Structure 1
Amino acid sequence: MKSLLILLASVTMLVSSFAAELHPNILFLLSDDHSYPFLSTYGSPNVKTPTLDQLAAEGMKFHRFFTGAPQCVPSRATLMTGRSPVAARMTRFSAPLPRDEITLPELLRDKGGYFTGVCGRSFHLDGATKIGQGAAKVFQEHQLKTFIDRVDSLNQCSDNEVAGQVAAFLDKKPADKPFFMWANFSDPHHVWNAPAEFRPDPASLKVPAHWPDLPGVREQLADYCGEVNRVDRTVAGVLDVLKKRGLIDNTLIVFCGDNGMAMPHGKGSLYDPGSNVPFLVRWPGVVKPGGDSRALISAEDLAPTLLAAAGLEAGSKMSGVSFLPLLKGEAHTPRKHLFVERGPHGSAPVQADMTNAGYDLGRAVRSDRFKFIYNCTPWIPYSPVDSAGGIAWKQMQEANAAGKLPSGMSATYFTTPRPVYELYDLEADPAELNNLSGKPELAATERELRAALAEKMILDWDYLPLPDLMEGNTGEGGGKKGKGKGKKK
């Protein structure tokens, strides 16, 4: 009898161990407005992020993870639905996530038995918070705020309260259930107010090639880097909660940014700094330490991957593709293309003198080497999202007016109308300052990217007109009329 009890106990332990591997706890950490390569693990000399560096060293870091949009609301829609913001009908900030869009935490809860939660900064998927009484009444009458029903626990809080909220969530978790927690951080989003201990010396910073080296640029870059350094400390507090409860080694931890930094060429733009974000995965026993990947990964791929890690199938409408084999060190077919969309920003109404910081419609497709951008509202002048009033942009405007800005930057930031089509060789021009659209020697490449984008737009039921596919006649923007950045204003 005693031998039988020992055998049953051993079998129970094996079953529990197998279940833990099949249904790992999942912690999804999301920073806000966080561009690649602003972690020191990527070699950036501008920041010091020891917590996230260790997370990368103990797992895998990705250099080319791209969000579905360079903006908070649509990018989060993609992360949660495994679909593009266009397909999920989430290209407007005031839009609530449609009830028929089934999210990652819902599938984990309903199909995998997970206890699920969201905490921290606004998750942005129940409609804008400032929409006016009339719109708010519509939300209420039609029960459009749905996230309270999509997860078991929903709490918004400041960054310094996230660790406490994670602890409270774990206190409520049933002992027999794995958990999924989506913890959101405000940093490094505006307001940039990190204490002096986090802020580097502006003179010590390396200025990215897509900005001019101006005093105001250095000052705001220092402000931003201070925010990145602070979020590293905040993440450490959350990880400490797992360590104290003995959960750190049986939890799949993902860290990434929701979109790029709020500076020119970043947030709101279809250039790489707008949607290329840090992405780290730590999963002891599955992901080998020290992993380093340059595969193209779309935010559409995150939900299918986490579902696969939990032993579950992707949602029926998900267009993303699981990269779980890559995490496991198995054969993996990388993406040939990924896609990014740009729509309205914020909830302000259209104004006659507005810039594209508030309203813009565009699409982009990226391959390993090339980027094609399709601007559908090119007549609206460029202005950086959330930072047009900052000293960096003001000094860039002054330098341009004085004829002191490099030609590529002047053309990129101050041409009106902007070109309908842009093409960049990211190997030769990683700063994306030299538009090659219409160059005869790249016609085949441009045609391929236009076709890939058109296919994506068709399959996602995109509401924008398709780009010219350069079939036969090159068409406007495809050849003679599409060269350069356009005429200066």
Structure 2
Amino acid sequence: MKSIYNSLLLFVFLTASINTFADKKPSEKLNILFITVDDMNWDSPGIYGNKIKSISPNIDGLAEGGIRFQHAYVQSPNCSPSRGVFQSGLYPHTSGMRGFYFVDLPHETLPQILLKEGYYTGVINKAIDSSFSPDFDDTWNYYDKIDGKEKRIPSTYYKHMNKFFSEAKKNKKPFYGVVNIADPHKLFYNDPGTQKEGYVNHPPSIIYKKNEVEIPEFLPNHPKIQQEITNYYNSVKRADDCLGAVLASLKNAGAEKNTIVIFVSDHGMALPFAKSSCYQNGVKTPWIIKWPGKIKQNTVEKEMMISAVDFMPTVLDILSINKPEHLQGISFLPTLEGKKQKQTELVFTEFNENAGGTPRPIRGIHSKKYNYVFNSWATGDLIFKSAAQSHASYKTMKQMAQTDIDVKRRFDYLNHRAVEELYDLEKDPNALNNLIDDPKYADIVRQMRGEMQNWMENTDDYLLTAFLAKEDKAKLAELMAKEEKEAYFRASSLKWKRHKNTSGKTKGHTKLYIVQ
């Protein structure tokens, strides 16, 4: 009799629990607000060590209200491939988002899952780069494209966020909102060409002068480079202004207490040896999470290594939604809850091709102490191609190289690299001294090679064949010739995210990329 009574009691308890969850108001469910800035280096905010006065009060304030990670990374150092990892939980070579084209992904993305779970999904700015399919209606309830001349203005973000929050409230749904702040992407504030673009008409709240900023160690000292760096930091300041507007809109919507705010940069600054590289300045990112009432304020996580591939499983765990088995990252929810969890020792990164479709495949491994890089294209015959070549620092380095032997050596290395690289980050955080042939590091090199091969095998990386032939430059050149041919075919046939690429205009292309 007692057993029957206990069973009945358990049934009543479970039924009440289920009903309580089912009856939970949408407004009581957790919202997710995912904020990205474009091309901001990991150490640009004040909270991450930048000494420029008042450079990032809004980023710093967000960090002081939650947790900031000291060892956080993205998987790819260029826009669309990087953003694709956050939304898919897959490495770029696995999902197929290797470049700037749309992909026929056989799995549901994070917003698609949340859409089915009753969330109101929205993306403000960069909907194209946040999506795998050109049919946004399958992914987003709400998507807003911000005009080029408007996307550097705080009031623009305030207006668009107000509209998004209002629509979510009107639909009586919790929200998953993705807002992509355009700064500090090129063109920087006061760069040549900004007058035409209209950006110069909307200055940051503080304008810094050249004597207030320092040139990063990985670039040479020159007045023109100093000016470009100054312009960059003024754009960092304007990005922080825009973040302030987004957070003000969240507060205005009355959703602060029930919203988890996640802040990252999609990759490093748009300068040589940063963006489009698998060095620390290409793939390390500021990563801040504010979870009111859950995460202790001003928490600094110095041990756990996280990366973009971990974002989707973590968000699904936070929301108590079942995770698909194909996800390649791990949830770091236990860390957010202040619990101990097994430490991630290594982060794997990759670059495949630039926005124009030119392939220059790179793979990287990051530990807290070392950075290993494999450049499959670096046989001596090819030159690295990136957007930085169009801007002041690259052009100035090229000019300086004609008379300065040290700059020439550095400039030549920028263009040609080495097949393998190893850097001791404790001694050389800016990747200036390649230790790949230093006998003192032979054991580390051997370990990193093994880790790289295992990861490439486990993730079915198309670059594995090249990695296994890394000591045969003739073989690498042959494989790169094949890769360039395939890349040109993709550029000339697929539905592209940019209006032109290496094959010309992309208008009219409808075919999506399918992972073979």
TM-score (norm 2): 0.78
Find the counterpart in structure 1 of residue 179 from structure 2: 183
Q: Is the 8 A contact 2:123 2:179 kept in 1?
A: yes
**Structure 2 residue corresponding to 1:155, chosen from 144, 156, 172:** 144
Runs of 5+ in structure 2 lacking a partner? 1-16, 190-199, 474-516
Alignment-derived partner of residue 162 in structure 2 = 167
Q: Which moved more, 1:15-24 or 1:174-183?
A: 15-24
**Counterpart residue identity of residue 70, structure 1:** P
**Does residue 1:59 correspond to 2:66, yes or no?**
yes
Distance in 2 separating the partners of 1:259 and 1:433: 20
8 Å Cα contact 2:225-2:392 kept in structure 1: yes
Give the CA deviation at 1:126: 5.1
Q: CA deviation at 1:120?
A: 1.7
**CA shift at 1:148, angstroms?**
2.1
1:292 matched to 2:293? The reply is: no
> Aligned AA for 1:232?
D
Q: SS of the residue aligned with 1:422?
A: strand
Q: Are the aligned partners of 1:199 and 1:222 in contact in 2 as well (CA < 8 Å)?
A: no
Which position in structure 2 is the counterpart of 1:480? none
Instruction: Say yes or no: does 1:265 pair with 2:260.
Output: no
Secondary structure of 2:35's counterpart equals strand
Confirm whether residue 338 of structure 1 aligns to residue 347 of structure 2: yes
Q: Which moved more, 1:399-408 or 1:286-295?
A: 399-408
Q: Secondary structure at the match of 1:364?
A: strand
Say which of 232, 236, 243 aligns to 2:251: 243
Q: Structure 1 residues 26, 325: closer, same or farther in 2, change over 3 A?
A: same
* Cα 1:381/1:467, change in 2 over 3 Å: closer
Aligned to 1:36: 42
- 1:211 counterpart (219, 233, 254): 219
The amino acid that maps onto 1:301 is D
Q: What amino acid does structure 1 have at the position aligned with 2:95?
A: A
Which range moved further: 191-200 or 172-181? Answer: 191-200
Task: Give, in angstroms, the shift of residue 392 of structure 1.
Answer: 1.9
Residue 14 of structure 1: CA displacement?
A: 8.4
One-letter code of the match for 2:102?
P
User: How far 1:18 sits from its partner (Å)?
Assistant: 7.8
Shift in Å, 1:222: 0.7
Say if 1:261 and 1:386 are closer, same or farther in 2 by CA, change over 3 A: same
Alignment match of 2:122 (pick from 112, 117, 126): 117
Q: For residues 181 and 196 of structure 1, what CA distance do their matches in structure 2 show?
A: 25
- CA 1:196–1:103 in 2, change beyond 3 Å: closer, same or farther? closer
Q: What is the alpha-carbon root mean square deviation over aligned residues? A: 2.8
Structure 1's 308 and 221: CA in aligned 2 closer, same or farther, altered over 3 A?
A: same
CA 1:145–1:469: 2 relative to 1, 3 Å: closer
2:114 corresponding residue in structure 1? 108
How many residue pairs get aligned? The number is 436
CA contact (8 A) 1:77 1:97 kept: no
Q: Does 1:403 align with 2:404?
A: yes
Separation in 2, partners of 1:347, 1:396: 23
Q: SS state of the match for residue 405, structure 1?
A: helix
Q: Distance in 2 between matches of 1:360 and 1:175?
A: 45
Give the conservation status (yes or no) of the 8 Å contact 1:296–1:334. yes
Work out whether residues 128 and 134 of structure 2, in 8 Å CA contact, stay in contact via their aligned partners in 1: no
Equivalents in 2 of 1:90, 1:84: separation in Å? Answer: 8
Deviations 1:53-82 (A, max 9, x none): 100000011222111110001001101111
Distance, in Å, in 2 between the alignment partners of 1:286 and 1:408 is 51
Match of 1:133 in 2: none
Aligned to 1:302: 311
1:146 pairs with 2:135: yes
Listed as ranges, the gaps of 5+ residues in structure 1 are 1-10, 128-143, 349-357, 478-489
Q: Say which is worse superposed, 196-205 or 23-32, in terms of deviation.
A: 196-205
Equivalents in 2 of 1:121, 1:176: separation in Å? Answer: 25
Structure 1 residues 171, 12: closer, same or farther in 2, change over 3 A? farther
Q: Deviations for 1:117-146, whole angstroms, at most 9, x for unmatched residues?
A: 11123441557xxxxxxxxxxxxxxxx523
Matched with 2:454 is 455
Match of 1:225 in 2: 233
Contact 2:28 / 2:258 at 8 angstroms: preserved in 1?
no
Q: Secondary structure at the match of 2:286?
A: strand
For 1:373, the equivalent position in structure 2 comes to 373
CA contact (8 A) 2:348 2:363 kept: yes
- Superposed CA offset, 1:383-426 (max 9, x none): 57323232222222222221253687356325x4x311111111
